[in-house]
Chains A and B, each alone.
Chain A
Amino acid sequence: METSKQTDSLLPVRLMQTAMILLITGLLFGFVGSLQYVLPGWLKNQLSFERVRPMHVSSVLFWIILAAMGTTLYYAGERSGSSFKVRLAGKIMQALLLVSVAGILLSYLTGNFGGREYWEYPPLLSIPIALAWVLFVWIFIKHIRNLRQQPVYVWMWLTGALFFLVTFSESYLYLIPYFRERVLLDMSIQWKSNGSIVGCWNLLIYGCSFYYMEKHDPSHTYSRSWLAFAMYFLGLFNLMFNWGHHIYTLPTHTYVRLISYAVSMTELIILARIIHGWKKSMQSSKLFVSLPGYRFMLASEYWILLNLLLAIAMSVPAINIYTHGTHITVAHAMGSTIGINSMLLLAFLHDIIWGKERKNRPWPVKSFWLLQVSLLVFWLALIAAGIRKGYWQFHEPQIPFQKMMLGLRPYFIVFMLSGCTLIIGLMASVWPLLIRSVKRAREIKNKSSLYVEHLPDEYHPIVPVRRDVAGK
């Protein structure tokens, strides 16, 4: 059965399946957490918020990380057409990931913590994650083989994958007494690594979106242009140096604040580039509308714009002192991880799992719009709650915390209700994907675990050829 144009794609599909299951789990716990905001003390003795929050956050973050790993490996294999098999390495990697994710969720449920924000599990569990990641990098490098004249997305994938290891290791420096004993230094390094690690999975995901464009439009040469590389290096520069906007109010060195303020403002160039190419990009994107999942791609463009505006505003220290420590930060975090990361990943998953098949089915328009509108309300409710709390921090510090929180209740109710409809909208897309992925995995297995389609020529005509690519 094997030909030179076949690559093992069972591993990526398995990663995507695990990711989707984690997303569903995470949504469930997000809902419980939002109810605990509305009904203070609910489940305090059975499943208190300190268990629910990490169950939610870790599950959804692993949804993003595993889905990004899966799509990157799939696309890298699809592109290279390499026939090398990753069975053993893939199996070990899957096993390591499953053991760590299961261990993490179990440790939360039993109230056995030990880590820090976003990685609250006992630090031992980071070892299988790191080992799995090393295997991921190895498999990826086998796919791309070398870096000669590679398009920008290969650079993005590779740097995202390698830097993840660096920043993930950095987040464990606190295990060394020198860091652990120094509270301010420790917090600075904690948020340095937390800030950069987000940039790492963003590199993987944005890399996939460049590839997606090129895959569906052979005339798409943007990913080899100067502009694309300039934007990539600007992104990498931000990943390395802009993390200080998380800790403007921490009494650390003043130059940390200044450097990250200056670096964050270079994101205005990215904003200008998006606004400049907006009309062109929207016009040409209509050509893609018949593609499965393309609507998610389009939606992400709006969410990128909204979240970038919010992020840039929050990166101005004089504004940050009002938004920091409030639900505006939560709006920023969930706005980007849902609106940008999850939308793009859903676009790729539709592409990979449904392939051409979905084209002939009616698009679930209602659930798509339910998702978008819910997310907007959800995001605005958090911002409104944040503004109210920011006002309290500055002007009414004499009002007790609990009384202030009671005043935020109407916003939390809207947050919880829009969270419910958001879950329905997301599930309506994810559930059919999950079911279809089981069939997809079986198909791959029956072909002795080989992937068949490598951009066959007949694949391209699904979409009209698109020359007026944004940014060209």
Chain B
Amino acid sequence: MPDRFKWTIFMTLLLSFSLYSAHLYITPPPNEQELDGVALQGKNIWQKKNCQSCHQFYGLGGYLGPDLTNTVRRRTPEQTRAFLKHGTDIMPDFRLTEDEIQAVQAFLQAMDASGTADPNRFNPTWYGNIKTD
């Protein structure tokens, strides 16, 4: 293959990649949730304590614990609080302060508002794609 050809293909790919990336950066998804200060603090705690090693959002994360995208729909705030306050047989007690617990709860609330993780909401199309009703 002549070098000229290789460069043309390479530069075309690179340009498309850059444009696609830039487009994605500036167009947030339709149902985007912008976190306020408290929820953002909750997100920081989520990362600082590495909750993602056992939990998932939208099926992404570690697998020892349940997906938490919509946990606030399944549990009352008191139940969630109890999990965060004491941990479980498997989940450690992270000794979160009262403020930290509230921040994590606000973050979980925002995640829930961003959508539904349940795969049952999808219907397959004839060509293998999926869509929601």
Interface residues of A (CB under 8 A from B): 36-37, 40-41, 44-45, 48-51, 53-54, 111, 113-117, 120, 147-149, 155, 159, 170, 173, 179-185, 187-189, 191-192, 226, 229, 233, 236-237, 240-241, 246-254, 256-258, 261, 316-322, 324-327, 330, 393-394, 397, 401
Q: Is the CB of A318 within 8 A of B125?
A: yes
15 intermolecular pairs with C-beta atoms under 8 Å apart: A41-B89, A49-B53, A53-B54, A113-B49, A116-B47, A117-B53, A120-B50, A182-B35, A233-B10, A241-B16, A247-B60, A251-B29, A251-B31, A258-B129, A322-B119
Give every chain A residue within 8 A of B99 (Cβ-Cβ). Answer: none
Give every chain B residue within 8 A of A187 (Cβ-Cβ). Answer: 57-58, 60
Q: Is the CB of B52 within 8 A of A240?
A: no
Within 8 Å by CB of A324, from B30, B65, B110, B119, lies: B119
Q: Is the CB of B89 within 8 A of A40?
A: yes
Q: Is the CB of A394 within 8 A of B34?
A: no
Q: Is the CB of B111 within 8 A of A149?
A: no
A155-B6, A182-B34 known; A188 and B13 CB under 8 Å?
Answer: no
Q: Is the CB of A183 within 8 A of B67?
A: no
- Interchain residue pairs A-B with the least CB separation, the first 6: A325-B59, A318-B124, A251-B115, A113-B50, A50-B53, A401-B66
Smallest CB–CB gap between A400 and chain B, Å?
9
Q: Is the CB of B3 within 8 A of A191?
A: no
Q: Is the CB of A321 within 8 A of B64?
A: no
Q: Is the CB of A113 within 8 A of B6?
A: no
A181-B35, A237-B13, A321-B122 known; A50 and B49 CB under 8 Å?
Answer: yes
The A interface, classified by DSSP as helix, strand, loop or mixed, is: helix
Within 8 Å by CB of B122, from A114, A173, A246, A249, lies: A249
A116-B47, A148-B3, A181-B40 known; A261 and B24 CB under 8 Å?
Answer: no
Give every chain A residue within 8 A of B111 (Cβ-Cβ). Answer: 183
Q: Is the CB of B48 within 8 A of A188?
A: no
**B76 at interface, CB cutoff 8 A:** no
- Docked Cα-Cα span, A327 to B62, in Å, equals 9
Q: Is the CB of B43 within 8 A of A180?
A: yes
A322-B119, A324-B119 known; A185 and B59 CB under 8 Å?
Answer: no
Give every chain B residue within 8 A of A327 (Cβ-Cβ). Answer: 63
Q: Is the CB of B92 within 8 A of A321?
A: no
**B114 at interface, CB cutoff 8 A:** yes
Give every chain A residue within 8 A of B119 (Cβ-Cβ). Answer: 249, 321-322, 324-325, 393-394
Per the 8 Å Cβ criterion, residues 58-86 of B in contact with A are: 58-67
Q: Is the CB of B17 within 8 A of A116?
A: no
- B6 closest partner in A (C-beta): A229
Within 8 Å by CB of B92, from A40, A48, A115, lies: A48
Smallest CB–CB gap between A35 and chain B, Å?
12
Smallest CB–CB gap between A346 and chain B, Å?
27
A184-B29, A249-B117 known; A316 and B128 CB under 8 Å?
Answer: yes
Within 8 Å by CB of A185, from B32, B40, B54, lies: B32
**B97 at interface, CB cutoff 8 A:** no
Q: Is the CB of B125 within 8 A of A183?
A: no
Q: Which of A114, A149, A252, A326 has the most CB of B within 10 A?
A: A252
Smallest CB–CB gap between B65 and chain A, Å?
8
- B92 closest partner in A (C-beta): A48
Give every chain B residue within 8 A of A249 (Cβ-Cβ). Answer: 58-59, 117, 119, 122
Give every chain B residue within 8 A of A256 (Cβ-Cβ). Answer: 24
Q: Is the CB of B24 within 8 A of A192?
A: yes
- Docked Cα-Cα span, A212 to B112, in Å, equals 50
Q: Is the CB of A183 within 8 A of B54?
A: no
Smallest CB–CB gap between A99 and chain B, Å?
22
Q: Is the CB of B33 within 8 A of A184?
A: yes
- Docked Cα-Cα span, A148 to B58, in Å, equals 46
B7-19 vs A, Cβ < 8 Å mask (1 yes, 0 no)? 0011001001100
Within 8 Å by CB of A53, from B53, B89, B114, lies: B53
Smallest CB–CB gap between A39 and chain B, Å?
10
- Docked Cα-Cα span, A54 to B92, in Å, equals 16
- B120 closest partner in A (C-beta): A394
- Docked Cα-Cα span, A427 to B110, in Å, equals 46
Contacts A40-B90, A325-B119 known; list 8 others, CB within 8 Å.
A120-B47, A120-B53, A180-B40, A182-B34, A187-B58, A226-B1, A253-B30, A318-B125
Q: Is the CB of B59 within 8 A of A318?
A: no
Q: Is the CB of A183 within 8 A of B59?
A: no
Q: Is the CB of B54 within 8 A of A236?
A: no
Smallest CB–CB gap between A169 and chain B, Å?
11
Give every chain B residue within 8 A of A319 (Cβ-Cβ). Answer: 128
